[in-house]
Amino acid sequence: MTREYIDAPPPVALGNLSATTHDAPPVAKDLTYERILDAREAEPHNWTTYYGDYDGKRFSPLDQINTENVKRLTPAFVFQSGSQGLHAGPSTYAFEAAPLVVDGVMYVSGWDGFVWCLDATNGQTLWQYKHAIPFDVSLCCGNVNRGVAVAEGKVFLATLNAHVVALDAENGEKIWDTVHGDVRAGESATVAPLVVKDKVIVGSSGGEFGTRGHLDAYDIETGERVWRCYMVPKPGEPGSETWPEDGEAWQRGGGNCWVTGTYDPELNLLYWGTGNPAPDFDGEVREGDNLYTDSVVAVNADNGEKVWHYQYTPHDLWDYDSNMENILFEKDGRKLLGHFDKNGYFFILDRTNGDLVSVTPFVDRINWGEIDADGKVTPSIYPEKEGEEVHFFPGPAGGKEWTHACFNPETELFYCPVQDTGSTIARRRREFKEGMPYWGAHVIVDSEDMKGSVSAFNTSGGEAWRWETDLPMCASVLTTAGDLVFAGEPSGWFNALDARTGEHLWRFQCGSGHHSSPTTYSVDGRQYIAVPVGWGAWVEGFLPGMMGGPHGSGIFVFALPEE
Amino acid sequence: MATAGQQELSAVISELGLDHQNKGTIGRLLNHGGLGQAEEGSDGRMRIQVRIPEDELTYSPSITVMPHAGELEIEFFNDDTNTHCAQVPSNGDYQWIWLPNGSRGKVTVTLDGPGYYWYNSNIGNDEGRGLMGAIVVLGDVPEEARLDRPPQPRP
């Protein structure tokens, strides 16, 4: 007997079953490269690009919130998401993004392919986009995304399954979708894209799976790939002499580009940090310096050609990626950059040619080796013999993880979130197999005897002050012309410090640990501080002592009380 | 093709009552509702029918295989005597459909695997009782998106 069925109601997009309004004002339509270029000076109320400006300072000229009144800071609104169904990394998702704001509209990515467009004054969702992410995508370090780029009426997203997607900034509808990497090779994408001129720059992820790292540029109108720059050379290319001859090591050598770079428009150079060589801890299978891993690579923004490089950790045996920001600043008429590396040293380079200006330690315990004033690296403790454990500081998460330092041009100080944690590691050789983790070691990061700080350094590398914490600091810091530094803790506290003295001025408990990049903006004359909160990601690597910390999924936005 | 080991596993699961509701345990072990392969039409869209059998709280088949990335049309039939739903991942947003008792309805989603995805009935604890399904997308990424290196060994 044939059964008679009734018609089910038609399917709907899940976001339609919410208070989302499904449209946003066209504020991003005229957001051109030229506007982004001048944004800090011409429109300080906005945070238009990942670091707030191409120079990576994470500094805002806004000063309504200052050292005198910050104690009155209070939540303006909280945006919450939670998670839906069963998704990749159900225990590792984290909120790592830096919210962008253009004329009162916030654009922010979450984990698992989410992008939200919000009213930046009250958190009302204007639209959302959800890219479907495979459950089995290869992720070393959690289901995360560090943010979006916005320009020319579009929002650009790199997805965990290695696509680059352009969305209509007014409604979240997809405009183009280009495949950026090979998930079967262990590639993914977590980086916040960077728009430069008519291109959107996107780097690869997958360093723990033996990929070959690359930086790509896509046409912002069509999604067509304009150039690709591999960070591990093929035989015969410059730098190939730093890899074994006649070997296969270069094919899976790492050097991924999973954190947004900075850009000098006068020199037309991108300063992009590269990740660890692969396998992370087994150097015997990749003799040599292993260029261009663990480096800053100055790349011509028009054609992707390498112009110069500086390798912070040659022949890395400690997982000391150098993806972290290279902050551009000027001193005595020189164009310089500052970089806090995982290896525990603070480097200042001449950014016109890569010459070392100074190198100084920024974390108390460093025993993996030493870097002298000339930049010469002398390793001391490293995994060498099969199965024999060694213990070294800093552990593989580094003296500072990917989370960002900042620079305040008014105090002329850098502020760095410091992690002082060690790790026990033994070499464990394994064959390379595509798509499988390729570390060459077992790893146990310390859960005790750890500490952290926000430390301030002058432009010569001298420490000006530090604010010490019991737990390592695992979130980006933000500085403002209000003479403030904002810093989130793994315990959930969000703090304001006096940028000149380090004095603790204010804190708020957000209920989950911080592992994101707070930003600031103003709308109709009211300044806001926005911080995504959601503990997770590679906690076993940077702070296993907080593996049991509460998961969260909110954006807390603070302001002074309205009069 | 199921191997002898897998057939043996299925037999043991059935023997233990894990492929039934309130038998071996309270609900039904996830993803033991069979496997079906979506068929590609002349329009390029892949299609499959998925049923919710009475008192089984499972999608049948609970594993849908797409031969490659693209559009998938799932026609759901709820043969159960309770109301359920389906929240299916798709680029842009999840597609969500009510499935009242004795109803049928179609959902079309876009998935750009390779990889596999979960969908579910996100009401009550339908998910925990067994109403979670997998969509497996076979294939490779386009040639131009692959790394410039010789073919590598795989597991």
With an 8 Å Cβ cutoff, is A11 touching chain B?
yes
**Using CA atoms, how far apart are residues B153 and B137, in angstroms rounded to an integer?**
21
Q: Are A201 and A215 in contact (CB under 8 A)?
A: yes
Question: Is B153's CB within 8 Å of A128's CB?
Answer: no
Answer yes or no: do A162 and B115 touch at CB < 8 A: no
What is the chain B residue with the closest CA to A180? B145
Q: Which strands, in side-by-side order, build the sheet including A225-230?
A: A194-196, A199-203, A214-219, A225-230
CB contact under 8 A, B94 and A187: no
- Pick from A373, A364, A383: which is nearest to A320 by CA? A383
Which helix (DSSP H) or strand (DSSP E) does residue B11 occupy?
helix B4-15
Residue B147, pLDDT > 90, answer yes
The question of whether A264 is a catalytic residue gets the answer: no
Question: What is the three-class DSSP state of A559?
Answer: strand
Are A404 and A477 spatial neighbours (Cβ–Cβ below 8 Å)? Answer: yes
Q: What is the pTM of this model?
A: 0.97
Is A13 in Cβ contact with B95 (below 8 Å)? yes
Closest CB to B93: pick one of A13, A214, A251: A13
What value does the mean pLDDT of chain B take? 94
Q: CA quadruple A112, A118, A124, A129: dihedral positive or negative? A: negative
**Which of A133, A138, A256 to probe by mutation at the B interface, max B CB count within 10 Å?**
A133
pLDDT of amino acid A247: 85
Mean pLDDT along residues B50-69: 97
Q: Are strands A369-371 and A295-300 parallel, antiparallel or unpaired?
A: unpaired
The pLDDT of residue A75 is 98
Q: Residue B7's pLDDT band (boundaries 50, 70, 90)? A: confident
A132–chain B Cβ distance below 8 A for any pair: yes
Asked if A245 contacts A267 with a C-beta cutoff of 8 angstroms, the reply is no
Contacts of B110 in chain A (CB under 8 A): 132
pLDDT computed for residue B4 by the predictor: 53
State the Cα–Cα distance between residues A191 and A221, nearest whole angstrom: 20
**CA nearest B75 in A: which residue?**
A8
CB nearest A131 (choices: B76, B91, B127): B91
Q: Say which of B114, B147, B155 has its CB closest to residue A436.
A: B155
Whether residue A435 and residue B112 make contact (CB cut-off 8 A), yes or no, is no
Cβ of A134 within 8 Å of Cβ of B120? The answer is no
Question: B93–A212: do the CB atoms touch at under 8 Å?
Answer: no
Can you spell out the DSSP letters for B99-151?
E-TTEEEEEEEEE--SEEEEEE--STTHHHHT-EEEEEE-S---GGGS-SS--
**pLDDT tens, A188-243?**
999 999 999 999 999 999 999 999 999 999 999 999 999 999 999 999 999 999 99
Contact A434 B154 (CB under 8 A): yes
Residue B78: list chain A partners with CB under 8 A.
Answer: 8
Residue A65 to residue A525: CA distance in whole angstroms: 11
> Is residue A180 within 8 angstroms of chain B, CB to CB?
yes
The count of other CB atoms within 10 Å of the CB of residue A160 is 27
Q: CA quadruple A118, A124, A129, A134: dihedral positive or negative?
A: positive
Q: Of A471, A458, A339, which Cα lies nearest the Cα of A405?
A: A339
Return the structure tokens found at A275: 């990740």
Residues 239 through 278 of chain A touching chain B, CB cutoff 8 Å: 248, 251-252
CA geometry: angle at A241 spanning A237 and A246, to 5°? 90
Tokens of A157: 């997203």
Q: Which two tokens stand for residue A165?
A: 């997607």
Q: Which residues pair with A114 in a beta bridge?
A: A130
Contact A292, A212 (CB under 8 A): no
Spell A220-233 as b/e; 16+ CB within 10 A means b: beebebbbebbbbb
User: One digit per residue, pLDDT tens: chain A, 563 residues?
Assistant: 678 999 999 999 999 999 999 999 999 999 999 999 999 999 999 999 999 999 999 999 999 999 999 999 999 999 999 888 899 999 999 999 999 999 999 999 999 999 999 999 999 999 999 999 999 999 999 999 999 999 999 999 999 999 999 999 999 999 999 999 999 999 999 999 999 999 999 999 999 999 999 999 999 999 999 999 999 999 999 999 999 987 899 999 999 999 999 999 999 999 999 999 999 999 999 999 999 999 999 999 999 999 999 999 999 999 999 999 999 999 999 999 999 999 999 999 999 999 999 999 999 999 999 999 999 999 999 999 999 999 999 999 999 999 999 999 999 999 999 999 999 999 999 999 999 999 999 999 999 999 999 999 999 999 999 999 999 999 999 999 999 999 999 999 999 999 999 999 999 999 999 999 999 999 999 999 999 999 999 999 999 999 999 988 999 999 999 97
A-B interface: how many C-beta pairs under 8 angstroms? 167
For chain A, the first-to-last Cα distance in angstroms comes to 72
Q: Is the pLDDT of residue B3 over 60?
A: no
**What ipTM score was computed for the predicted complex, to two decimals?**
0.95
Interchain contact, A17 vs B120, CB within 8 Å:
no
The answer to whether A211 contacts chain B (CB < 8 Å) is yes
CB contact under 8 A, B147 and A17: no
Tokens of B65: 């295989």
Q: State how far residue A136 is from chain B, nearest Cα, in angstroms.
A: 6
Q: Considering only the beta carbons, identify the residue of B89, B97, B150 that sits closest to A251.
A: B150
Residues A403, A513: Cα–Cα separation, whole Å: 13
pLDDT in tens, A147-186: 999 999 999 999 999 999 999 999 999 999 999 999 999 9
Compare CB distances from B122 to A85, A87, A134 and report the shortest one's residue. Answer: A85
Give pLDDT, residue B1: 46
Are A493 and A507 in contact by the 8 Å Cβ rule? The answer is: yes
pLDDT of residue A403: 98
Which is catalytic among the residues A319, A420, A483, A498? Answer: A319
Q: Is A90 on the interface with B (CB under 8 A)?
A: no
SS (H, E, C) A436-490: CCCCCEEEEECCCCCEEEEEEECCCCCEEEEEEECCCCCCCEEEECCCEEEEECC
**Distance between CA atoms of residues A492 and A532, nearest Å:** 11
Please report residues of A whose CB lies closer than 8 A to that of B116: 134-136
pLDDT of residue B113: 86
Q: Burial-class residue A109 by CB neighbours within 10 Å (0-12, 13-18, 19+).
A: buried
CB nearest B115 (choices: A8, A130, A135): A135
Cβ atoms within 10 Å of A32's Cβ, excluding its own: 13
Contacts of A251 in chain B (CB under 8 A): 149-150, 152
Which residue, among B97, B147, B148, B154, would best test binding to A if mutated, counting the most A CBs under 10 Å from its CB?
A: B147
